[in-house]
Structure 1
Amino acid sequence: MQSGNARISRLRKGVIVPQLTDAYERKFYYLRLSITDVCNFHCTYCLPGGYTPTARPKSFLSPDESRRVSRAFAELGTEKVRLTGGEPSLRRDFTEIIAAVRENPAIRTLAVTTNGYRMARDAASWRDAGLTAINVSIDSLDARQFHLITGQDKLRQVMDGIDAAFSAGFKKVKVNTVLMRDVNHQQLSAFLHWIKPRPIQLRFIELMETGQGGALFHQCHLSGEVIRLQLERLGWRRQPRGRSDGPAQVFSHADYQGEVGLIMPYEKDFCASCNRLRVSAVGNLHLCLFGEQGIPLRDLLADDDQTCCIEGSYRAQSTEQKAEPFPASRQQRYNTEPVIYRGLGYVASLTVAPPQTRETGATRTIADAPHPATFHLKKQ
């Protein structure tokens, strides 16, 4: 008998498989797969002191493990995978990872979020390996300010990388810009001028209160509502959101090739439309993108023949923890309490099993998990 949290979504190869759905009826079509924690930029809002190793590079997911975990989620309805970091392109086997994930035709979109450092050199090889979409971070079009924000004097190199991406055959490039008061919030007109003749989706992302960034947040946070009102006055219109799209509110204008997206995590009901899960670079499944608690999956990804149909019953009453970007003081103001961690009864079924092994009713408990989680082999 199926769990009440599993909803039938599709038929693949004659086998009915459940769509990943949580207790709030949110369906998860989108997996963010981190492949490294290493980054060579020192962005003020992320790694102001530079990267400090927290894991040995050899402990990050291998290409085979990346293939297995993406295949498992694809069997449960995932249509889009985004490779993240750190900076993914610093992996020497990055194109191998792209090819490994792209082996599965059920993954319709394979994207990367990058700082653009190596795009000019490698965009064509990424495209050849199977990458279908690129997001690149550019927080200012002013080279001096870009250098101050990132710690790298590489704006021209990143811009050349965007040109290389278009030359390689990418039809659109998304540009992520962290919105900061008195840093770049007055550059909207310059950004709009830049994207007018180019198929670039410029995405303003609200600065979030994470980790040690409280002081910067209080100094520089600006609601995306400021940009939204300006766009609406200029005749931009909001577009419908696809089921595997990210969280951006996307606006278009008849006179522009480019688009503008707004990611506003403190806006009311932001969490209600979440369709994403995250797997960390060391193989932990995170049910909230901003949560530190994770369900370890790594030992279930050792080889192709493993039998793993996992139903993770997360014991929320003993591990409840609000995501760091949403402190209690801001939850009341913005009404954005992340619902994932509230009374969570979550289905995280991963299938890496031949059909005949799914008939067992065995239960498997990972006793040494840092946060209690029970995994069941479930009849399908």
Structure 2
Amino acid sequence: MAELILTNATVFTGTEVLPDTTVRVSEGRIESVEPTDRNGSGDAAHTIYDLRGRWLVPGLVDLQLYGGSEQFLNGHPTAGTVRHILDTHRRNGTTTVLPTLYSTSYDVIDKAIRAVREVRAEHPLGVPGLHVEGPYVNPEKRGAHSLSYVRPPDARELNDLLTAGRDVIKILTIAPEVFTPEQLQWLQRTPFILSAGHTNATYRQATEAFDNGIPLATHLYNAMRGFESREPGTAGAILDHPTVRASIVVDGFHCDFAAVRLAHRLLGDRLFLISDAIFANPPRPALDFEDFVIRYHEGRYTNQEGKLAGSSITLLDAVRNGIRHVGLKPEEALRMASTVPAEIIGLGDQLGKIAPGYVANLVVLDEEWRCREVFAT
């Protein structure tokens, strides 16, 4: 990355909004964040951008997405697909991704691990790891996951998964109720960040899982036991728990915007955004892959059963929806898409903020919250 001076910007630092601010970048890191000096004479060693008051925000961090505009990881678990996913979403301001697999065979998981490891060597902060969603989920809450791949946890396969992916798999989405207590204890000793999802856990089962160390929940409200007055379910356990963090898909289809607003009121910074994109930018119109058959219509993907099958949005679309339809303050929506997810995967000291020493993954947004420029290492 060239030496840069980004001046006259409205900067979201990850903690506050600073108007009329200048950010200096040197050797791919943020050198300084300071008020714009309108009497300055410039700097011949730096490329200067006058942002004319536009927003300068940290690069977005998407912890769950399956594909780019044409290819998706389950269908082609190769390094080329991983690069395609990163390139597709980077054009819309997402500079860090965890490519995600939905329930599949061990062979596909193994190939995806190798593919992500290869691309991580090229872009260590662009693709820091893999999210494996399933296959150890509850068949009753499998959503669009194929029943032929959803399966009970097997000790040998879990050991193989750890051996192959201990340095690559960042997040493993599981249904805690399909595991024995001993299996869960074993998993919690692995480097994987466990997330409860595609689960039919009762309120008590889910609360016990969170109390015992599962720190995350996958796409709040979706593919989980819902809230009822006599049985608050998994969703109720998430909303009631003091520490668990939950992702949410803010596309207007996975949950009502009012439900997002209520969740944010209860969870605050423990709620974060994911795109859940199967394809995006632009969305591919159709897919027939094994028994995963989906069609795009009026903004959403559904399978042959009429079930939602991922989303067609980018993470920036989710930010925009959060601001426009949920009523979030811009800094709240941006934190949910950058600062918070970076912290979750242990990169909060390098990504998700605009501060001296941080990696200069930076995005310029206009007044309509559209991506105008991306600077990324």
Name the structure where strand makes up a greater proportion of residues: 2
TM-score normalized by the length of structure 1: 0.40
Higher relative contact order (CA 8 A, sep 6+): 2
